Each structure stands twice: as C-alpha cells, then as structure tokens.
C-alpha cells in the first residue's frame, strides 16, 4: 500500500468526504530539503466534507494534519491542504 | 526545554506585529513553501520579521507544538497564529489577507 493509499484511506474513514484528491508530489521536490530517495515525502490533499462546515481554515487543516499524524511520524514531510466544508 | 522554547517563541511573536517562522530567510528561502509566504507578504507590502528555524533546533521543534501545527512556515499576526503556506496563499488569492492585515492595523495604507 502506498502512502497515498494510506492517506486516502485514513481521510475517507475520518471525514467521510464528498470529494477527495490525494496526489504524491514527491517527484517535484526531489533533491529539496525533506525529500528522500525513496520518495513519498510531499503530498497534496484536496478534501470537501461536511465535517469542515463552519470550521476555520486553521481548524480544518489541524483536523487533517491530526488524522495523518502517523504518516508525519513515518516520514511525511510536507502536505499541501485544501479543506472545505460543504456549506 | 519545551517551556524554554515556548517562552522564546512567545517573546518573538509579541515583539513584532507580523512574524514568520520559515526555513531560510526572505532573501534566501530554503524551502518553496517558506518562499511563497515571504513573497506574498512582500507583495502585499506588510512589514514583517522572520526567524530561520534551520538555525535553531529548539525553535524548529518547539514551534510545532506551540501552535499545534506540524509544518513550517508559520505566520503570526499580533501574537495570533494565522496559518501555514496553503492558508496564507488562499487568503491572499481571495483578498482576505489584505483585509485581515488592514483590520489588524498592521498594513500601511496602500494607494
């Protein structure tokens, strides 16, 4: 299972999103600080879920980051997030 | 160690209205995300101070628990955490950033 698969699975389970995109952008950051030869360091997530309705951006991003804590601990270095409510 | 870091961070963000924790400096950013935020702040014309976390391991780790935010850059305005790169960029694109900074009284009047 790739990190993208795990991210998708965790976010789906946590937020039951209406829309979810997960993209591994590690190749674009090859050679930069935080990049690793094996990749899977830089990801982009776009998520739309009712769970974020009425939440500030900071709170929505915190919720996404918290859900993915295990991945950060395991080498996820950078996560570009777009998180929106449905409302 | 955590307390010492928190105290130092608190001191930094209290002494400057607009404060950016970043990797590298605005002139020589060492990370694309940090570069983006510095560029946006320069573009809207707000004065800010920055701190290069790559030169200070205590702050580099401490800032993450301070704000409950796992990544750098981190922008603070009047001691309040505003967000990281995505949030700053989104606020800039929607025009909210200028309005926010102006409401906080930290944006010099622009023509």
What CATH number should be reported for the domain holding residue B74? Answer: 3.40.30.10
Nearest CB partner across the interface for B33, out of A62, A69, A78: A78
Q: Residues A15, A77, B9, B7: what is their CA dihedral angle, to the nearest 10 degrees?
A: 80
Q: pLDDT tens, A13-71?
A: 999 999 999 999 998 877 776 777 778 999 999 999 999 999 999 999 999 999 999 99
Shortest Cα–Cα distance, B46 to chain A (Å): 21
CB contact under 8 Å between B85 and A72, yes or no, is: no
User: Would residue B31 count as lying in a domain?
Assistant: yes
**pLDDT computed for residue A60 by the predictor:** 97
**pLDDT computed for residue A80 by the predictor:** 95
Nearest CB partner across the interface for B68, out of A29, A62, A80: A62
A24: domain CATH number is: 3.30.300.90
User: Would residue B110 count as lying in a domain?
Assistant: no
Chain B residues within an 8 Å CB radius of A82: 86, 90
Nearest CB partner across the interface for A62, out of B69, B82, B85: B69
Domain that holds residue B57: 2-103
| Whole-number CA gyration radius for chain B | 13
Secondary structure (3-state) at B77: strand
Q: pLDDT tens, B1-26?
A: 578 999 999 999 999 999 999 999 99
d(CA B37, CA B26): 9
d(CA B89, CA B81): 15
User: Would residue B108 count as lying in a domain?
Assistant: no
What sign has the CA pseudo-torsion B72, B76, B82, B86?
negative
d(CA B93, CA B109): 19
Please state, as a whole number, how many other Cβ atoms lie within 10 Å of the Cβ of residue B11: 10
User: Would residue B65 count as lying in a domain?
Assistant: yes
ipTM of model: 0.85
Q: Which residues pair with A21 in a beta bridge?
A: A46
User: What's the whole-number mean pLDDT along residues B54-73?
Assistant: 95
Residue A82 in contact with partner chain B when CB distance is under 8 A: yes
**pLDDT computed for residue B111 by the predictor:** 46
CB contact under 8 Å between B70 and A69, yes or no, is: yes
Q: Which DSSP category does A47 fall into?
A: E
**How many structural domains is chain A composed of?**
1
Residue B69 in contact with partner chain A when CB distance is under 8 A: yes
Q: Which helix (DSSP H) or strand (DSSP E) does residue B21 occupy? A: strand B18-22
d(CA B26, CA B45): 13
CB contact under 8 Å between A32 and B31, yes or no, is: yes
Domain that holds residue A67: 3-84
**How many structural domains is chain B composed of?**
1
Determine which of A5-9, A27-31, A70-74 has the lowest per-residue pLDDT on average: A27-31
Per-residue DSSP letters for B82-100? EE-HHHHHHHHHHTHHHHH
């Amino acid at each position: 299972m790739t990190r993208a698969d795990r991210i998708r699975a965790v976010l789906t389970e946590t937020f039951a999103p209406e829309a979810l995109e997960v993209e591994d952008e590690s190749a674009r950051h090859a050679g930069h600080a935080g990049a690793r030869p094996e990749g899977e360091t830089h990801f982009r997530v776009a998520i739309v879920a009712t769970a974020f309705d009425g939440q500030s951006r900071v709170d929505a991003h915190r919720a996404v980051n918290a859900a993915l804590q295990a991945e950060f601990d395991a080498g996820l270095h950078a996560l570009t997030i777009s998180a929106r409510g449905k409302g | 160690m955590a307390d010492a870091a928190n105290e130092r961070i608190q001191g930094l963000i209290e002494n400057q209205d607009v404060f950016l924790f970043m990797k590298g400096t605005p002139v020589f950013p060492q990370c694309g995300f940090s570069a983006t935020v510095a560029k946006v702040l320069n573009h809207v014309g707000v004065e800010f101070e920055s701190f290069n976390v790559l030169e200070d391991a205590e702050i580099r780790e401490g800032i993450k628990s301070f704000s409950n935010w796992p990544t750098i850059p981190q922008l603070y305005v009047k001691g309040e955490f505003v967000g990281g790169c995505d949030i700053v960029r989104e606020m800039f694109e929607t025009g909210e950033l200028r309005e926010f900074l102006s409401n906080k009284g930290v944006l010099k009047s622009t023509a």
